[in-house]
Structure 1
């Protein structure tokens, strides 16, 4: 099964393995229009709108277009940044985190499963009516069987490929729209020529929303009319299978909503003009036919003889095919959403399997079809009233995830809203207004209209609340199920992020060598949080070690691997290894980790390690498959990316690592970063590096401000991969803070060193440390004369501690031990360890350096 149906190869937009470029703009518009089921939506909703607002039904129908257009702009802008077939799930995850993303995806699933039951039942009913089997159309069992068959057929069509689905939709939609337009034109012609008894001429008052009797009636009408437009977002859920995935789907949803406005406005106006709003006969206000106004009007408008009879039957066929087509296009967004959620590990990975030939989601498509069948059969067998109220409640799920998408757009682009008027309008104002309208509709419907026990077919007696309309109970209950499931599916992401953050430095240490600032941006979903890390490590002689690294893979194992490697780097750095030697030792750690833990996360780790010395201004660095750092000169802000010797990724085997040395003037800026910072989805690495250089070159900015500006420029929204940034500005120790001498390897030099040390401490006002420092220098110089040859260097550094360094040409490191009573030596180093705060050895190209640190006396003279 695994070989026949492989998992999605990736979770990013366009990387899931779906058939890219299968759809063009026309096909995307067709899918968007077909998903709304224009004929079925008008048949099922127009009577409800008229019952709420009367003659103002046309303008209410058209005004419902406004919030849909606002949300369509949100879809367009978000899709341009992240053409993920998960749409609201992916975008809300990026904007607000995995919990909001899960609820957005759950809202899509709930809405589509419920509507699938309604569409399938309608398709079954109209199928029987088309062939004259009205008795079967009224039979619950047979309509349910027919609905199951329709779901199975449409699931099979979606299974065999998006191109087959699009081709079928093109034929069905073109015929459907043609019949609707013919119906509208015929009705208007008869109104002004044949004058049927129920006809009323079109009036300007029909298009005046202020003529609606009350605000409650107006809102109720808008709620009903919003359902007319729902479904155009399917054009975006197939974005990864569309040519020019970042732009074509966005254009398609805007075009779809505008075309729907024209069709719905024309049909609503013509139907009302022909049938009137009476409560009897063919009047649109007749409650007996409010659930299906077109089948009754078809015979009257077209006539019952000859071609008219054929056109009347054709109109019924269009409602049937509209429901069937919408069944198919409802499966598409539901399957793609679940497929994306599985690729991002928000649902079991089995749902991320693809058909090897058709490149369609297998279990997402089949599974959602089976869920829809189960929902239809279950609710139909329990109660048709419950099924009816469940279908009415779909508006809550629609308003929920549409509103969430609008708010996600505003928050996603919050850092760039002031960049231009276009950004403010299309990325902020319009989506924000759309989100607010959807929020208002959701709250009004859930807690006022639908909560009324008299609304709908059922009501429920809730504890502490009382009797509540079944529509509200079912709608909110379905969404609350997602809240209950949410902790289970977001638990790993939460744990991974908590582990990742706990393993990173909580605060960078205060350093003499550099001023430092950092940022860590976690990925937006469970599939993204991984193993990026950074660190600034104090080293001997006031030097500092700087490191950034990136572990392959994501999730808990990658974060744990990062923690092990970061700890290893800190341990190795304290040995004062050169950068190339440190990477060689870390390479062994990576290989050993991969062997012991049996995972690939440790293999292929990239890392950059640098050591900066504030005394000399030299910075030595080496890399293991990592991007070189950015270096900004203090004079003029020239930005460069130094050419470092190429280095393989850790654990992959190959030639040894090499170090390179740079001289950094005081005030130079060094930027170390992981690939996630410059590999954003909307640009390649060269563009990212250019943007980074442009921000770093800004004069007179603090490091904290530069960090914020870098993130705003390169990562204005959430990201697919972790990103780490470490900025340091170099400092230099002044000549007054250091003193050094070169001594001959002669016992007489010990006295010279003692005298020079005493004199320098007096100049620094550190006479209190004179005795202990003389003893330290004397012991270290004596050992250098005894065990090494060549010149001896003594250096004192006054920093936050007093540092004493003695360098020689030997490569043998002394070891601290307890001397026996009869030993002639071994006591000197033990004494030094008792007198100093810290001591150690580091090796150089010409030998070794023994160093010690002593705490400076406080203002009152105590050490």
Structure 2
């Protein structure tokens, strides 16, 4: 906790921030500078709560990129990460230059401190040294920060106490006594002046979130970093309130001498006050040097702690494939991001050289533009916390306040500051040190140009870098069912949640496949890997399952054929291709659960490849059960052959098919099934409501891998819609069954279908008698129209003990036979053959006439 708070405090560079901004705040709001400094604490505290809650839910390098991605999608998340990168790189260039200047001042080389060349060289050296410290390890970084911060805080406190004592004992001519009006924001001259002061004051609090970005290197990563962030902001409030009040009381707000309103000292008010507060002889000279050392250590501490979140943000983005994968490498010994740390250090040096080559004025404006990037990604994080936890806000008053109200208010405040700063303050050509003449817009302040330009550059890069993720997501969703078709056998509802990170779109799929005889095929599968290849593999396998399912294969046989398809695809790979590593076929290792439910018998036949569990909720108990299914190897793997098992399901049973991703947020492998069982306890609710509850319970926020849930409620066919007869292999039975079928259709009110159905039955039964023999069974099934969809069907099935299916062919004019099946195919909607353990069934389907037809 101590180290996390130290890193959070050091990242804000309290001494440097006060030295560089206190004069600007006074210039804007006058004597109300202390209260404005304190008011800027409010939005930071609100955003700190957002960081705390998001970190407790998912500690992923504590980055706005990760959290915004999970809340709003990969593109928004990418821009959040880019905002932090822009802010850190721009401020690094300025911090390094400040460290170079104060390093020379500390040793009395004031001439070199005024040289742009030598301060740039010294800044580069400091970046290299501190990047190496960050590279070696977080523990060394934290230890160094403890020493640097202790020196900084000790000198700040000494400065504040000494200044206050002198104000009330041996006051200088500029001194003024502390007044209650200093802490009244309503005495600021105008709302614009107040807002301008807040914009500057917000900058001095920026950086505490570093304590969260190193959360995965912190003990108890879900609790300590979030608390350290809040504690850091509170300690900063105390420090800034004390120093700003004492400095203003000692120096006043005059525009000459040591007055805080003197524009000549606005870039560094503390150095000018050092000699006045401590004196320039004896111990005072030592303390003045300590004040310079304090600003130097503050700049160095902030430089180092800026490299930390920058490297870890880039690392997180690379892990999620939002940046090149090499930035995700970790040093085996030091356990720190290698390319991310070194690469960002090198990029900071390049930006520093680029900005310095223009002018110091341009560098100064680039630093002020950091405020836009800060407000952007802080505000985005506040909104992400609110949206991310939206499903649990009503759980308790604490959740509503800490996860919703406070972060939401923080996001709104940051949004208001961003818009006002970008278009109301910084865009003024008279603001800042540079002006840019933009086409169609005209002269614009350099601060707005640099700040918004950097964010727009990130938008362009985002479109290029996230293109694969977007394409993969579109492909994945185009290959999944857009809606589940209504079916006589079951009710169904589904949820598919693609992974939120840049690499996450993968190969989960589900399907509800109508089969002959009112049966239905149910499937859920999970492809290994992510990206376009996994999505394409999913499409290939889903198509294979649908084709094989239409052949009416048993579940175990279907999986065996699907495994053959995977092997065949693997053999078709280019010669010399190992099939391993990043280019391995994603179809290998696929898990899949395939089931066939028959509403006539209530039997469900299942087989699985890999670890694919199933939850069954009986209608009488409402208690979820996870039946033991025969094991089977993943597709493309080796192991025992696939086996089918039979389950007898009562009408109204609830089946839950899902992939492993549904349990990814559960605490341990045993917790997931229990959470799902509780979510499905009220099983009589609508399937859509049950899906929503299950997803909200098991995946309240982001997902690191695809998650799929398919809920099915079974039906049992009404016996009044079924008729069947057993026949002997006697030609005389043809006429008898034909008459019986006609009478049954008359009883059902389907007189319009009598002629065609009698013809179908006559042809199929005659063929069975002629080519197979007995026994023969005829079955009629009438399905009713489903509300809101097309009408029902009449199914005619003729089964025998033969295993040879008839072939549809075009009979020649001189042929005596071969026209029967052709005529049947023309008179029916569809027909086919399926095999059973005792023979085969030839079936046909005819659409029922509309109810209002004559």
Q: Is residue 596 of structure 2 the alignment partner of residue 604 of structure 1?
A: no
- Specify the alignment match of 2:843 in structure 1: 851
- Specify the alignment match of 2:606 in structure 1: 621
What is the alpha-carbon distance in structure 2 between the residues aligned to residue 527 and residue 750 of structure 1?
63
Segment of structure 1 superposing worse, 118-127 or 417-426: 417-426
- Specify the alignment match of 1:352 in structure 2: 328
What is the alpha-carbon distance in structure 2 between the residues aligned to residue 557 and residue 596 of structure 1?
16
**TM alignment of 1:423-434, pairs within 5 A:** 423-434=399-410
CA apart distance, 1:797: 0.7
CA apart distance, 1:613: 0.8
Q: 1:857 to 1:199 in 2, by over 3 A?
A: closer
CA apart distance, 1:825: 4.7
- Specify the alignment match of 2:634 in structure 1: 649
- Specify the alignment match of 1:813 in structure 2: 805
CA apart distance, 1:648: 2.0
1:218-275: CA deviations, max 9, x gaps? 1111111111110011111111211222222111101111111111111111111222
Of residues 735, 760, 763 in structure 2, which corresponds to 1:751? Answer: 735
Of residues 828, 834, 844 in structure 1, which corresponds to 2:826? Answer: 834
- Specify the alignment match of 1:6 in structure 2: none
Segment of structure 1 superposing worse, 815-824 or 413-422: 815-824
1:350-394: CA deviations, max 9, x gaps? 222222221222221111111111111121121111111111111
What is the alpha-carbon distance in structure 2 between the residues aligned to residue 240 and residue 386 of structure 1?
37
Is the 2:434–2:446 Cα contact (8 Å) retained in structure 1? Answer: yes
Q: 1:58 to 1:766 in 2, by over 3 A?
A: same
Is the 1:86–1:105 Cα contact (8 Å) retained in structure 2? Answer: no
**TM alignment of 1:3-152, pairs within 5 A:** 25-85=1-61, 87-152=63-128
Segment of structure 1 superposing worse, 266-275 or 683-692: 683-692
1:164-221: CA deviations, max 9, x gaps? 1111111111121111112212222222223333222222221111122221111111
Of residues 646, 655, 663 in structure 1, which corresponds to 2:648? Answer: 663
Q: Is residue 775 of structure 2 the alignment partner of residue 779 of structure 1?
A: no
Q: 2:82 aligns to what SS in structure 1? A: helix
Is the 1:842–1:850 Cα contact (8 Å) retained in structure 2? Answer: yes
Q: 1:467 aligns to what SS in structure 2? A: strand
Segment of structure 1 superposing worse, 287-296 or 346-355: 346-355
Of residues 238, 256, 264 in structure 1, which corresponds to 2:240? Answer: 264
Q: 2:321 aligns to what SS in structure 1? A: coil
What is the alpha-carbon distance in structure 2 between the residues aligned to residue 612 and residue 447 of structure 1?
63
Is the 1:284–1:290 Cα contact (8 Å) retained in structure 2? Answer: yes
- Specify the alignment match of 1:530 in structure 2: 506
Is the 1:49–1:57 Cα contact (8 Å) retained in structure 2? Answer: yes
Q: 1:471 aligns to what SS in structure 2? A: helix
- Specify the alignment match of 2:576 in structure 1: none
1:777-832: CA deviations, max 9, x gaps? 23322333344355322211112222111222222222223345665654433333
What is the alpha-carbon distance in structure 2 between the residues aligned to residue 373 and residue 439 of structure 1?
31
Q: 1:282 aligns to what SS in structure 2? A: coil
- Specify the alignment match of 1:164 in structure 2: 140
What is the alpha-carbon distance in structure 2 between the residues aligned to residue 621 and residue 185 of structure 1?
78
**TM alignment of 1:208-607, pairs within 5 A:** 208-597=184-573, 598=579, 599-607=584-592
Segment of structure 1 superposing worse, 124-133 or 418-427: 418-427
Q: Is residue 685 of structure 2 the alignment partner of residue 701 of structure 1?
A: yes
Q: Is residue 129 of structure 2 the alignment partner of residue 153 of structure 1?
A: yes
Q: 2:670 aligns to what SS in structure 1? A: helix
What is the alpha-carbon distance in structure 2 between the residues aligned to residue 594 and residue 232 of structure 1?
51
What is the alpha-carbon distance in structure 1 between the residues aligned to residue 816 and residue 88 of structure 2?
88
- Specify the alignment match of 2:786 in structure 1: none
CA apart distance, 1:710: 2.1
- Specify the alignment match of 1:735 in structure 2: 719
Is the 2:7–2:211 Cα contact (8 Å) retained in structure 1? Answer: yes
Q: 1:245 aligns to what SS in structure 2? A: coil
- Specify the alignment match of 1:192 in structure 2: 168
CA apart distance, 1:78: 1.0
CA apart distance, 1:397: 0.7
Unmatched 5+ residue regions in structure 1? 1-24
Q: 2:737 aligns to what SS in structure 1? A: helix
Segment of structure 1 superposing worse, 735-744 or 529-538: 735-744
What is the alpha-carbon distance in structure 1 between the residues aligned to residue 502 and residue 364 of structure 2?
37
What is the alpha-carbon distance in structure 1 between the residues aligned to residue 600 and residue 722 of structure 2?
8
What is the alpha-carbon distance in structure 1 between the residues aligned to residue 69 and residue 703 of structure 2?
10
Is the 1:513–1:730 Cα contact (8 Å) retained in structure 2? Answer: yes
Is the 1:341–1:347 Cα contact (8 Å) retained in structure 2? Answer: yes
- Specify the alignment match of 1:12 in structure 2: none
What is the alpha-carbon distance in structure 1 between the residues aligned to residue 518 and residue 400 of structure 2?
49
Is the 1:406–1:435 Cα contact (8 Å) retained in structure 2? Answer: yes
Is the 2:62–2:215 Cα contact (8 Å) retained in structure 1? Answer: no
What is the alpha-carbon distance in structure 2 between the residues aligned to residue 166 and residue 789 of structure 1?
87
What is the alpha-carbon distance in structure 1 between the residues aligned to residue 157 and residue 103 of structure 2?
22
What is the alpha-carbon distance in structure 1 between the residues aligned to residue 437 and residue 531 of structure 2?
44
Question: TM-score when scaled to structure 1?
Answer: 0.94
CA apart distance, 1:155: 0.9
- Cα RMSD over matched residues? 1.7
Q: 2:189 aligns to what SS in structure 1? A: coil
Unmatched 5+ residue regions in structure 2? 574-578, 784-791
Q: 2:394 aligns to what SS in structure 1? A: coil
What is the alpha-carbon distance in structure 2 between the residues aligned to residue 153 and residue 860 of structure 1?
86
CA apart distance, 1:860: 6.5
What is the alpha-carbon distance in structure 2 between the residues aligned to residue 408 and residue 857 of structure 1?
54
- Specify the alignment match of 1:674 in structure 2: 659
CA apart distance, 1:34: 0.7
What is the alpha-carbon distance in structure 1 between the residues aligned to residue 363 and residue 160 of structure 2?
32
- Specify the alignment match of 2:775 in structure 1: 791
Segment of structure 1 superposing worse, 239-248 or 73-82: 239-248
1:49-72: CA deviations, max 9, x gaps? 111112211111111111000000
1:296-326: CA deviations, max 9, x gaps? 2222222223332222211211110110111
Of residues 660, 667, 685 in structure 2, which corresponds to 1:683? Answer: 667
Q: 2:492 aligns to what SS in structure 1? A: strand
Q: 2:831 aligns to what SS in structure 1? A: strand
What is the alpha-carbon distance in structure 2 between the residues aligned to residue 846 and residue 421 of structure 1?
64
Is the 2:801–2:840 Cα contact (8 Å) retained in structure 1? Answer: yes
Segment of structure 1 superposing worse, 670-679 or 390-399: 670-679
Aligned residues: 837
Is the 1:802–1:854 Cα contact (8 Å) retained in structure 2? Answer: yes
Question: TM-score when scaled to structure 2?
Answer: 0.95
